Structure 1
């Protein structure tokens, strides 16, 4: 990939000659990019130019678009995520690699993500959440200590609905469980903690309550002018269900011998704690992004994930889950031949909010440090460079500054090692500061680059050379 940035403004102004500036990731320490500019500095335009170059180079691209303005990239397919569309990915799908994947790894990752965006998640709730995820897997025969049970098929919402409608429960064991399965499991545990009992007890109780609701709906629907025969039929079924429920509960109580049977009380603490966890899951699943309903990208190599409709919390969870899946897929392909080729680009708009400097194992920190050899480039756009942690800033192959507000200059000079004179030289949409970390250079200086712009003399010259570059 070779991306035309513009002309070196110093050389153009003082030597009257054209010296083009290119972003060539294969020649840099890595392909990561930091693109910063306050509102009105041309950040969206430069982002689209970069992404369009990547798309035309045949790279796979995933764009996480929080403003829904990056869908005009060459060959892009855009999908909007919202409660209305219902598109999403199942967070309980497993990496089946016995060395780096499995149940415990996924539990740690999911709980860590939820804890990051939910400061109110207490120690008790975290413990309950871990047990809930583990037991949801176990309910379909997936166990943490048995890697042979980790490989299952991915289910869609339509498949899951059909299985439930046909009451073909055993078929669910062929698929990974879903967030809705986890919620249903939690509700059954809440019932068990409320009335006491085990799974047969809860099943019988659920059947009885369903019949009771059916009878109530029937009598309400006809406003007491109902079909007595139909009501009587339900009464007979209810009596049988009531008897079965009593028998199941009696069997549970009389079967207690060791005192260890009601271990759910210990695993799930209390109804209040488990209910709080369910409420947390409901908030996370409200937008539908964690449903087993894959977005219709088809074979598109450039995928624009439009996440404007999601809350900040949902955006962070969704994006990090996708980043982990993308990174794991690239790791399975193995390192690139030389360790510097670019295979796949991930573009994060308003990227600063995804970083967690307190966690060294955060997926973005891992990608920043380890993704180069697998061909993954992390391109981050933001209005403010000082919002990024040092661990990322020191692992970026290219930095583009389109305009920084003067109130942030002092911190920017310290964090990015750029002088105030260089910051002062930046003119939004006309001249930007560029730092390219090439092999063999420990701390290169920023170059001041005139960008293609039809409204300025240097910009028109840069644009003309860009046309020649494309023609060649």
Structure 2
């Protein structure tokens, strides 16, 4: 790939020479790219030009567009994700590599993503979600400790509906479970845990728990009794409470039906906790992005994912799940021969909102490791100051289209760009460009005439 950025302003003004400046990722330390500029500086225009060059060079492209401004890339197919369209991907599909994938890995990844996107998700909710995922996989015959069970086929919503309507449960086990399966299993567990429901064993266990708590309280008071008549009075209450616990335990044992009631109580904490987890899943999937209904991209090499209609939480979850799928696919394909070949561009619009301080976050992993697998992470944002240093110091090319003056001081510190270079930027006419080539420790920014 060779993309023309413009002419060197230094050569044009000082030497009256037309010296072209090109973005050639195979000549840089990596194919990662950062495009920064405040509103009105031509960020969408320059991004579209870059993406068009990548598509024309035969490079696979995935664009995550939060403003619906990048759909007109030559050769690209766009898809809008919303409640109305219902397109989405199944988050329960597995990486079947026994070393890097499997049930536990996907479960922890999904729990971690929900924790990041939903800070209100507490420790108990995380535990319940984790157990819910493990049990849903197990119900489909996919076990965390048996890699031979991890391989399944992908299923569409229509296929799942057809098999469930026909009650063909055996055929369903040929496919990965879906979020609908997860929610359906969760609702069944919620019914079993609900007090006053049709499970007398759970009701008896709840009653036994309350009686045991009362017994503990009375025993504590008995140990601290001081007056002469208080020990006798409390002793009678303790004995009565013990009798209630004994009868309550007998009722619990008599009401047992499956033998798993106690295990379910421990795994799913309470009906309230399980209900809150199911509500969270419903809210996050209200736009349908986790439905097994892949978008109609076909074999299009350039795909624009229009995610403007999604909430910020949904955008973060969707983007990171897709990035992980892309990264795992290229890892399985192996490293490129040269180690510098660019074969897939991931473009993040308003990219700063997707970054995390967690070193194991998929975006940070791609920034560190994806070069050898041919992946270029291209990020667009209004200011470079919103990105972690670990990314800024590991990006092959940086384009500054124009920053607000309030960002200059931090930009000079984080990017080592001079104030003089920033002053010479003229939106849509002159930009600042840094190209990190092999053998150059800290190349300076140069002004490039683009208009």
TM-score (norm. length: structure 1): 0.83
SS in 1 for 2:64: strand
Alignment of 1:156-235 (within 5 A): 156-194=156-194
- Distance (whole Å) between structure 2 residues aligned to residue 193 and residue 257 of structure 1: 14
8 Å CA contact 1:197, 1:253 repeated in 2: no
Q: Which residue of 2 aligns with 1:52?
A: 52
Task: Tell me the CA shift for residue 165 of structure 1.
Answer: 1.2
Task: Tell me the CA shift for residue 196 of structure 1.
Answer: 8.4
Q: Which residue of 1 aligns with 2:427?
A: 428
SS in 1 for 2:298: coil
Task: Tell me the CA shift for residue 194 of structure 1.
Answer: 1.5
8 Å CA contact 1:197, 1:262 repeated in 2: no
Task: Tell me the CA shift for residue 281 of structure 1.
Answer: 0.2
Residues 142-176 of structure 1, C-alpha deviations (whole Å, 9 max, x = no match): 01000000001111000111112112222221111
Q: Cα gap change, 1:275/1:255 in structure 2, threshold over 3 Å: closer, same or farther?
A: closer
Residues 408-464 of structure 1, C-alpha deviations (whole Å, 9 max, x = no match): 10000000000111111100000000000000000000010001x3xxxxxxxxxxx
Alignment of 1:271-350 (within 5 A): 271-350=271-350
Q: Which residue of 1 aligns with 2:98?
A: 98
8 Å CA contact 1:350, 1:383 repeated in 2: yes
Task: Tell me the CA shift for residue 253 of structure 1.
Answer: 5.7
Task: Tell me the CA shift for residue 303 of structure 1.
Answer: 0.4
Residues 202-221 of structure 1, C-alpha deviations (whole Å, 9 max, x = no match): 9xxxxxxxxxxxxxxxxxxx
Task: Tell me the CA shift for residue 197 of structure 1.
Answer: 9.2
- Distance (whole Å) between structure 1 residues aligned to residue 185 and residue 401 of structure 2: 51
- Distance (whole Å) between structure 2 residues aligned to residue 297 and residue 259 of structure 1: 48
SS in 2 for 1:360: coil
Q: Which residue of 1 aligns with 2:393?
A: 394
Q: Which residue of 2 aligns with 1:373?
A: 372
SS in 1 for 2:173: helix
Task: Tell me the CA shift for residue 259 of structure 1.
Answer: 7.6
Q: Aligned residue pairs: how many? A: 404
TM-score (norm. length: structure 2): 0.87
8 Å CA contact 1:426, 1:448 repeated in 2: yes
SS in 2 for 1:263: helix
- Distance (whole Å) between structure 2 residues aligned to residue 432 and residue 375 of structure 1: 27
Residues 269-304 of structure 1, C-alpha deviations (whole Å, 9 max, x = no match): 000000000010001110000000000000100000
Alignment of 1:119-138 (within 5 A): 119-138=119-138
Moved over 6 A (4+): 196-199, 257-260
User: Any stretches of 5+ residues in structure 2 without a counterpart?
Assistant: 203-250
- Distance (whole Å) between structure 1 residues aligned to residue 356 and residue 196 of structure 2: 42
8 Å CA contact 1:62, 1:305 repeated in 2: yes
- Distance (whole Å) between structure 2 residues aligned to residue 64 and residue 415 of structure 1: 26
SS in 1 for 2:194: helix
Task: Tell me the CA shift for residue 258 of structure 1.
Answer: 12
User: Any stretches of 5+ residues in structure 1 without a counterpart?
Assistant: 203-250, 454-472
- Distance (whole Å) between structure 1 residues aligned to residue 52 and residue 118 of structure 2: 36
The yes-or-no answer on 1:416 pairing with 2:402 is no
- Distance (whole Å) between structure 1 residues aligned to residue 59 and residue 258 of structure 2: 61
SS in 1 for 2:187: helix
The worse-fitting range, judged by mean Cα deviation, of 65-74 and 288-297 is 65-74
Cα RMSD (Å):
2.1
8 Å CA contact 1:198, 1:252 repeated in 2: no
